[in-house]
Amino acid sequence: MKLVIGLGNPGGKYETTRHNVGFQVADELARRWGHDRPRRRFEGLMSDGTIRGERVLLLKPETYMNLSGRAVREASAFFKLALADLLVVSDDMALPLGRIRLRAQGSAGGHNGLTSVIQELGSDQFARLRIGIGQVSGERMVGHVLGPFSVEERPAAEQAIRTAADAVECWVAEGIDADMT
């Protein structure tokens, strides 16, 4: 069994923001996999199904980004999942728009949602898939992260979401090593 967690903030206000690209990947996966009936569980929305013979759970924490780890901890403990069976999908300001990066483990990289997951799990030894939302610094950072993609950025963002969903499917079917090549 695998658990794929898309990070984001709940509510329509945040639905199309850069910070919710993890939710957008989870939504793309749910669409592809026919996971159209999520249930409220573990402080989030969860759906499950079988993908390429593997049971896969999709989780979108509804705790706001900075508390996402609670939902991840509760779900992974309930299903008795190993850290190797978790994949967290999030935005990354350090990556150029549209670039994705998959890692088997690592730091939070300044991402508060990943920091929460690491703190709640007591480990950084889980896979994460980061989607570049473009680089910006200083006072413009909050507006950038919580703002929508511009009309010019949207095609690259949509392609990155599809590519990230492809990477998740590869991770489910073949594992992290195959996906990173």
Active site residues: 19
CA distance 175 to 181: 11
Residue 141 half-sphere exposure toward CB, CA atoms < 13 A: 8
Name residues whose C-beta falls within 8 Å of residue 176's C-beta, 6 or more positions apart in sequence: 84, 102, 104, 127
User: Could you give phi then psi for residue 179, rounded to 5 degrees?
Assistant: -70, -30
- Residue 13, class by beta-carbon neighbours within 10 Å (0-12 exposed, 13-18 middle, 19+ buried)? exposed
CA distance 134 to 81: 33
Q: What does the block give as tokens for 146?
A: 């919580």
